[in-house]
Amino acid sequence: MKPRVEYRPVAHGTHEFLELQAYARTFDHEIVPNPRINVFAHYRNGVLFGYSEHAFLPTVYPAYHPEFTKPQDVVQVMQDWRVLSQINGSPGYMGVPLVEGRPNFSDEIMSKLGFTRAYRELFLITPSKITED
């Protein structure tokens, strides 16, 4: 039987959001509260294994805890994102690290998952710079 993956929205400022931030820190990730970014917790059979930040549709930045995530979980999330993007008629961008030798998200693996490198970087306004001006 295929495991059931569920995506639950996590509202900023809630206890669940704080717990998810703490969870992300256990595998060197950080969830920065931003009203323009929707956060979804990923559960497999009721057990938290990762999360994704939807900065603006159609871009998603997933993160998976290495101790709790199975390869099939990543494949399913990627496929679900592709289907959602296709239903919405959007290109469905997937944000992955731009680090050399990123073994989990190599161009070859991403190609097998149905994604093509866009050769673009995204920049975010530094919060401290906003208040200084």
Could you say which DSSP state residue 24 is in? H
> What pLDDT tens digit does each residue of the chain (133 aa) get?
777 889 999 999 999 999 999 999 999 999 988 887 889 999 999 999 999 988 765 677 788 898 999 989 988 988 888 787 776 666 677 676 666 656 667 778 878 888 777 666 655 556 555 554 4
Written as six digits, the tokens of 118 are 């866009």
Sheet with strand 59-64: strands edge to edge: 5-10, 38-44, 47-56, 59-64, 93-94
Element (H, E) at 129: helix 127-132
SS3 84: helix
Stated pTM of the model:
0.59
Query: Structural domains in the chain?
Result: 5-132 (3.40.630.30)
